[in-house]
Structure 1
Amino acid sequence: MTTDLGVLTTAASKWEEMAGELNKVETRYGESVQKITTGGNWAGVSSGVAHSTFAGTRYEFSAAQIQAKAIASLLRGAHEKFTELRKKLESARDDAMAAGMTVSAQGQVAFDYAKLTPAERSAYHHDPDGEASIRTAVTKWQNHIDDRVKAIAELDEGVKTALGRASADSNKDAFGKGADETLSGFNAGAEGDLAKAMKPDRSSAGTKEDKTGHTFSGPKYGKEASAKAYADVFHETAQGSMSEGDLKLSGVADAYGGGRATANFGFTDQGFVSKAEASAGVRALAEGRAEYGYVGQYARAEGFAGIEGSLTAKATKEEVTVGAKGFVGAKGTLAGGAEAFGLGVGVNAEGWAGPGAEAWWGYKKDKETGVWKLGGDAGLSPLVGGKVGLEITIDPHKVSEAVGDAADALAGLFD
């Protein structure tokens, strides 16, 4: 609510200025360096190599302009959408307050008893239907505001995805298709339309079509090197939830089949990352949660059949982890735990049919939910064995809400 969205358009202007300066450099390069290979005074193998190399450099100057303009466009689109959604959130808050609610700085809705006369307050407290109507109204307005906040969070993640795609080389003119000579250079195929750039990959949207591909980027400009190869046969996800007053039930089911191999390495402004993993097979997950206010329970079941292996070492602002695993066969996992006021403790156990070993320890932040997870596990199986582990979760948003409600309740005692 208090973020200065104007910095987005300021940054967009800087990116547009950069594109203009890059255009000057490209022109100067073409007129002073590249033209050496276009005259008739230089011939032979070295001339041919120089011609390709200089054309590749000229290409990167052009691609950098396309990328800069696309990022500028994405930032302007983000400013427009964030401004629109924040206005809707402000309107939702104002409507809730006009309907007799209070809305905390964390977005928590409560009935504003302070606006009632002593007689009205007493009548509500002694009327079961009155208390029920208050709970219903609070839930309705809470859901309304939560939906507005969720829309902003989804846009935030979408903008992050769009900017990441724009800054990764698409290699659309590489491999003999054009003058591109650098696999980890600038993106000549950068998409500047925010709506298009935010669209999820078909593989993550649950398509049943086969999907294969590969990407590679080198360590440059504060980014880590990464490589990925994948062959997704299918990926299906289903989820749902329902609420009744303070009770909320939710569940998710996910199934995936295919093979993936990824590797990341580098020192960036976020920290150190070194990770390599590969897997092929079929896996499935089902999880259910039941929450009542700030107290809840969860249970999760997972299954995997195939081959997998990984080595991990990370030290960033949002994750410190070390781990290794190797497994061939089938495994089944059961996990469960309880949560209260944003803090959760759970355990998990796996049964393995096949040789393997695994160990993991650390803490990390879930990028989708913002929940911090701390824990570790270890497993060993010569042929038949398993793994056990502990997981502790901290949800900053729920902790903040719980503290805010406690403060509101305490303040209400002195009204």
Structure 2
Amino acid sequence: MTLNYQDVMTADLSSLTDVSAAWKKMGERFGELKTAYETNVQGVLGNGNWQGLAYGAQQQYASATAFEYGAAKKEALAIASLLTDAHTELTRLQKAVKDLVHDAEKKDYKVDSSGKATYVGYDNLSEQEKYALHHDPDYPRLQADAREKAQGWTDEIAKAVKAVDEADQSVKRALSRATSDGSTDGIGIGGFNAQAEGDLAKAGKPEPKDSTKPDGWVAEGESEASGPGTGTSATGPDVAGGKLAEAEAHADLGRASAEGSLTNGPMKLAGEAEAYVGAKASAAGGITNEGIRGEAGAFAGAEASAKGTADAGPVGVYGRAETKAGAEAGINAGVGLEGVQAGAEAFAGAKAGAGGGADVGGIGAGATVEGWAGIGAEAEATFGKGTDGKWHIGAKTGVAVGLGGEVGFEVTVDPGKIADTAGDAANAIGDAAGAVGDAAGAFGSAVGGLF
């Protein structure tokens, strides 16, 4: 959860020191238990009077238990240190926010519960002074100057609040890592963390989004997630600008998405995944200089999808899979400079589908298939330019009463990739011709040297 201005201003950080002391005491106690266990259990049973397979098995497990006591001490003391660092850092950053607010208020700027500053210096003037001010030729300029400075205070406060939130996220990462055991030591993965890091500056660092591996592969990726929430939005229409009218409403239980890629020269592997649980509805339509479009749809349930591509120069393959459970309905139609599209669907139940194909030099072809369990029907034909910049040609149809499904085909044309492929081919031909010319020149010189 992202901290806001009110969270920062009202947070009581004093309990962090008490909790840190409790964790430190617990860590020391685990150390005492380790010593007592080694002395009173391992030491007693390892006096040589007990031999055999049972003794060997007992000692193996006893060693693992003793190790876990030591790992528990390390983890607890690391958490105590992290909480102490967290108190120091968060207290410092919280004070920075409060100091900013105090400075703004001293200069007659009022800061509301969201962190927005407003100039209120004129409120202290008498009625006569206010009247004179409102009739002052410079009054509009003074107002504009006050608004500009108020925005400056608002921005500075927001920046300071963000610093607190980033530190809070750092503490969250550090504590999560300190309590995560990825080692096979002791009882194995899932025990106490014997390698727990107690330095917040080290343990709280975010995972790097970009990395170059020793073998030449470059990795990039990002992810995001959000919890329960509701919202609505509406825009347009703008008749003069020829814009569409759009409206949307949603009630989300949760959504998450991630994407990443690996690149090494002309080879690239890429993938995306997303999941959603909730309900949403939308409608849009209008006439623009690019054509006529209208669509409406609604969905309630859960859905998830994943897709990936693998490219080696101008040749590539792709695949995707998706699943959905719930109810949905939609209709769309459009005609314009970027193609024609029409379709309708209605479904209640569960779907699972996959698609795949290949791409050579910017021209791709593939097929799609879905299995349905429910009641529904769908038909769609597409010829147009998608948000990915490619032209799409395809059709699909399906029906189910109980069990059923859908099949379809798709053809894609990527003008940019076609142009790149043609350019690469032209360069290759030019290089080859140059090489032939050089070889011919060398041969001529060699022959000339014989006479």
- TM bucket, shorter chain: 0.5 to 0.7
* Cα separation, partners in 2 of 1:260 and 1:385, compared to 1, 3 Å: closer
Q: Secondary structure at the match of 1:13?
A: helix
The aligned amino acid for 1:194 is L
Deviations 1:317-351 (A, max 9, x none): xxxxxx987443379xxxxxxxxxxxxxxxxxxxx
Deviations 1:35-92 (A, max 9, x none): 2453322222222221211100001100000010010001000000011101111111
Q: How many equivalent residue pairs? A: 262
Measure, in 1, the Cα distance between the counterparts of 2:61 and 2:36: 16
Measure, in 1, the Cα distance between the counterparts of 2:190 and 2:304: 21
The aligned amino acid for 1:114 is D
1:24 paired residue number = 32
The aligned amino acid for 1:200 is P
Aligned counterpart for 1:234 among listed residues 220, 224, 238: 220
1:281 paired residue number = 308
Q: Secondary structure at the match of 1:234?
A: strand
Shift of 1:17: 0.7
* Cα separation, partners in 2 of 1:326 and 1:54, compared to 1, 3 Å: farther
Q: Secondary structure at the match of 2:308?
A: strand
1:187 paired residue number = 193
2:363 paired residue number = none
Measure, in 1, the Cα distance between the counterparts of 2:137 and 2:408: 61
Aligned counterpart for 1:129 among listed residues 141, 153, 162: 141
Give the alignment of 1:10-409 within 5 angstroms.
10-112=18-120, 113-116=122-125, 117-119=129-131, 121-123=133-135, 127-171=139-183, 174=184, 179-202=185-208, 205-209=209-213, 233-235=219-221, 256-257=260-261, 279=306, 281=308, 306-308=319-321, 326-329=352-355, 354-356=368-370, 382-384=406-408
Shift of 1:3: 2.2
Shift of 1:135: 2.1
* Cα separation, partners in 2 of 1:190 and 1:255, compared to 1, 3 Å: same
* Cα separation, partners in 2 of 1:109 and 1:69, compared to 1, 3 Å: same
TM-score of the aligned structures, taking structure 2 as reference length: 0.50
Greater Rg over alpha carbons, structure: 2
Shift of 1:108: 1.8
- Is contact 2:42-2:62 (8 Å) kept? yes
The aligned amino acid for 2:56 is G
Measure, in 1, the Cα distance between the counterparts of 2:131 and 2:406: 73
TM-score of the aligned structures, taking structure 1 as reference length: 0.54
Shift of 1:234: 3.0
Shift of 1:307: 3.8
1:397 paired residue number = none
Shift of 1:10: 0.3
The aligned amino acid for 1:188 is A
Shift of 1:195: 0.9
* Cα separation, partners in 2 of 1:158 and 1:31, compared to 1, 3 Å: same
Identity percentage of aligned residues: 31
Measure, in 2, the Cα distance between the counterparts of 1:199 and 1:324: 41
